[in-house]
Chains A and B, each alone.
Chain A
């Protein structure tokens, strides 16, 4: 086989086509490459890209799980959704939650990072303590928070009572429930932001501080304003966006602690999607909510990708 290929090759080469042996090895290499990629490609199409396409199509149908027939109904689901007060409540609750969690967790993350970096003692200890909530199972911790927030016997109200403040029904007062969930969200998230800021702080060249000082920046505040803050700009934008993406996905605490209540005061987008899709099995409508959710997250992720690129060039 090899001999005949070698014998044929000069003839082939003179007629302009590649020699057979080279073509064979190219085919072999092609097959090897394909077999390396095939599992990943198949699963990617089946489990990620296919389902995204499916969710877009489903949002245009009246499909309900278990019903034998379905039909295309155009944008009727979107019309229904945008006319639904629960949806707007859910969306505005989600945005309000994001609007609380993002600034507070970014500020706390930056503050703790600056304090930790300011001196060397116990750096490692603090960093680890603030990071624990990031990786502790949120569902288990939500149950602990629930007991802490118990109106009568919870630690929080007992502490309030000890300093003479009135006890509150944190999770059943419509005015308090969302801010309370946001506090849990901040508690869980800010350690992650702190670590990102710490990485950003370490990469600021020391000579910039020396230069600022020679130019008369004596106080810690003026050094922060002149050097740290501008140098952290790209990191901060990145942290803001990643916190927004994460807090936009709030679900666990709502599902375990409030079920969206009281009277929809803590209804959030993913919870609405979950209950429409998996409790009432109105798949078409749930898909429509999924599309809205996807739209928001894609927008934030694309913005973030732009900042990653910028940060690389910094």
Chain B
């Protein structure tokens, strides 16, 4: 965009419009935070009150942790998202390396399968996966939450594209040094691919921390709930009566990602949009 200044008026107009939009966008967050500070008597008011007369922070947040196993949900979220990410990398990187750097019979077929599998939306396969996990007795376990996402065809595609740009000389030199193909993947290729793996990691963790559809289907024991299923369960149990603790719980559920985002905004935006291109 051309940055010709049309003086102060333009700058004021720009900030007015953008600030208003920013306020609207942040409204649900502010209202959630504000409600999480309110005692029950100030939740149901017929006037807008942003700051409560009586602070109930401690009560609400303690109640949230007591009424729902929030710490458990957060721990589950961490276990599930990190396991998924680690397994995705373990599975995808060797395949991506083979597709990018090795010549073998059937390579183009395998790559075509990867490209086809990228097109499949996860919800479309939920039904057969549910039946599969049901038949092997793995429903309502951590495995049910993790295993369906261990294969990221998008991750394979992304890393293959990245590995294509790694010079062949590097691989040849490693082979001369007697490294096996596996050692090349983890000791030569992975270090060159850290930026791409980080971007993919952010995308993967955000997507699976926030995922609701599959965990809703895969588990029904409270101790296995991921944060979104947990907070929805808490809300159903409260049936919209005790908004203070509920909003405290919602705040806690979104906090880890929001804090991580505020600490590394550029990386997050790049990671999610660059990988969100799929």
Contact = CB atoms under 8 A, between A and B. Distances in A.
Interface of A: 29-30, 32-33, 35-37, 39-41, 43-44, 47-52, 54-55, 58, 65, 108, 112, 114-122, 124, 126-141, 143-148, 150, 152-153, 155, 158-159, 162, 187, 191-192, 195-196, 199, 201, 204, 206, 209, 213, 220, 223, 228, 242, 245, 249, 251-252, 255-256, 270, 273-274, 277-278, 283, 286-287, 290-291, 293-294, 297-298, 301-302, 308
Range class of the B interface residue count: 35 or more
Interface string B30-48: 0110010000000111111
12 contacts: A30-B104, A33-B102, A39-B90, A41-B110, A51-B127, A58-B128, A129-B22, A138-B228, A141-B28, A143-B232, A155-B27, A155-B48
B27 A37 contact: no
A153 to B, nearest CB: 5
B257 A137 contact: yes
A135 B261 contact: yes
A49 B117 contact: yes
Given A30-B104, A37-B94, A143-B231, A114 B1 contact: yes
A43 B150 contact: yes
Given A124-B265, A143-B246, 11 more contacts: A50-B128, A55-B125, A132-B258, A137-B209, A139-B212, A144-B250, A187-B25, A199-B273, A213-B2, A270-B213, A274-B213
Interface string B224-243: 00011101100100001001
Contact of A48 (B117, B131, B258, B268): B117
Given A40-B94, A129-B26, A140-B254, A135 B210 contact: yes
B198 to A, nearest CB: 16
Interface in B127-167: 127-132, 134, 147-148, 150-151, 153, 156
A47 B209 CA distance: 20
A140 B130 CA distance: 25
A136 B47 contact: no
A293 B124 contact: yes
A225 B182 CA distance: 54
Given A44-B113, A252-B212, A290-B124, A155 B46 contact: no
Contacts of B182: 32, 35-36
Contacts of A32: 180-182
Contact of A162 (B10, B48, B210): B48
B228 A33 contact: no
Contact of B129 (A36, A47, A134, A152): A47
B202 to A, nearest CB: 9
A139 B225 CA distance: 13
Given A41-B110, A135-B268, A302-B119, A287 B127 contact: yes
Q: For A43, A119, A255, A291, which residue has the most chain B Cβ atoms within 10 angstroms?
A: A43
Contacts of A209: 1-2
Q: For A52, A136, A139, A278, which residue has the most chain B Cβ atoms within 10 angstroms?
A: A139
B28 A187 contact: yes
A112 B3 contact: no
A141 to B, nearest CB: 6
Given A44-B151, A47-B125, A137 B254 contact: yes
Q: For A112, A140, A277, which residue has the most chain B Cβ atoms within 10 angstroms?
A: A140
A191 B273 CA distance: 10
Contacts of B210: 135, 137-139
B21 interface: yes
Nearest to A286: B127
B22 A44 contact: no
A120 B94 contact: no
Nearest to B155: A40
B113 A278 contact: no
A192 B129 contact: no
B269 A256 contact: no
Given A33-B181, A119-B11, A228 B1 contact: yes
A115 B17 contact: yes
Contacts of A132: 25-26, 29, 258, 261
A130 B123 contact: no
Nearest to A144: B32
Given A33-B98, A43-B150, A51-B125, A126 B232 contact: no
Given A115-B17, A139-B228, A294-B121, A129 B25 contact: yes
